[in-house]
Amino acid sequence: MNNVEKVLVVLAHPDLESSRINRSLADAVGDREGVEVHDLEAAYPDHVIDVPAEQVRLADVDRIVLQYPTFWYSMPGLLKQWLDDVMVRGWAYGTGQPGALKGKGFQVVTSTGGSEEDYQPGGFQGWDYADVLIPLKATARRLGMIWHEPLIVHGVREVTDEQLAEYGQRYRDLLGDRRDESVAA
Ligand SMILES: Cc1cc2nc3c(=O)[nH]c(=O)nc-3n(C[C@H](O)[C@H](O)[C@H](O)COP(=O)(O)O)c2cc1C
């Protein structure tokens, strides 16, 4: 029996070619056993999402990773659309039974222009980044999913190539780590 966890990285970047951080991170995990990187812009350049195909894809994995650059304390529009279109009532929730994603892992990997020091109460960005993630944490909880420790690359302009490679290694390690941070009820 194969015990390798199946992970779907849902990658959303509007211009991956000009990306430094997210392209490098995706490359760091793309060849890891059990990991599939699903580039939403490449799959849906017209932004018309094949919902049944996405649901089949999700049903087959153990963990879903949302990977994106932070845009306005949130995610790029195509990823929000993907969430809205795919996580529908009667499939993800409201089935009268556990939703299709119950028990699967949920993880966020993101990058920010703002530095770690900026992301704190009273800091330049005003909030801790953990607070920015509350809507996604609530989503995971609502879907009965298991919240995994996020990977956040802060202060992208100051990140050296060496540090970026270290983040890539950390990302690989996190995908092999089944411990959950357990979502508070
Ligand atoms: C439209 C837009 C909105 C952004 N909003 C934020 C933000 O709210 N907070 C932040 O820290 N950085 C913000 N940034 C900076 C991006 O997060 C940063 O450029 C990105 O993480 C770099 O990743 P990449 O090299 O993969 O493109 C924003 C950038 C753009 C283009």
Query: Is ligand 1 within 6 A of the CB of residue 158?
Result: no
pLDDT of residue 182: 54
Residue 4 vs residues 35, 61, 89, 179, 181: alpha-carbon distances, Å: 9, 11, 30, 15, 20
pLDDT of residue 50: 98
Residue 60 has pLDDT above 50, yes or no: yes
Alpha-carbon distance of 86 to 55, in angstroms, equals 7
pTM, entire model: 0.96
Give the confidence band of 97 by pLDDT, cuts at 50, 70, 90: confident
pLDDT of residue 184: 45
Residue 52 has pLDDT above 90, yes or no: yes
Query: Is ligand 1 within 6 A of the CB of residue 114?
Result: yes
- Hey, what are 74's tokens? 């949130």
pLDDT of residue 96: 86
- In this structure, which residue's CA is closest to atom 30 in ligand 1? 71
Q: What average pLDDT is seen over the chain?
A: 94
pLDDT in tens, 12-38: 999 999 999 999 999 999 999 999 999
Query: Is ligand 1 within 6 A of the CB of residue 67?
Result: no
Query: Is ligand 1 within 6 A of the CB of residue 110?
Result: no
pLDDT in tens, 136-181: 999 999 999 999 999 999 999 999 999 999 999 999 999 986 655 5
Residue 185 has pLDDT above 60, yes or no: no
Do residues 174 and 131 make contact, with C-beta atoms less than 8 angstroms apart?
no
Task: Classify burial at 19, counting beta carbons within 10 Å of its beta carbon; exposed 0-12, middle 13-18, buried 19 or more.
Answer: middle
User: Which ligand 1 atom is at minimum distance from the Cα of 20?
Assistant: 25
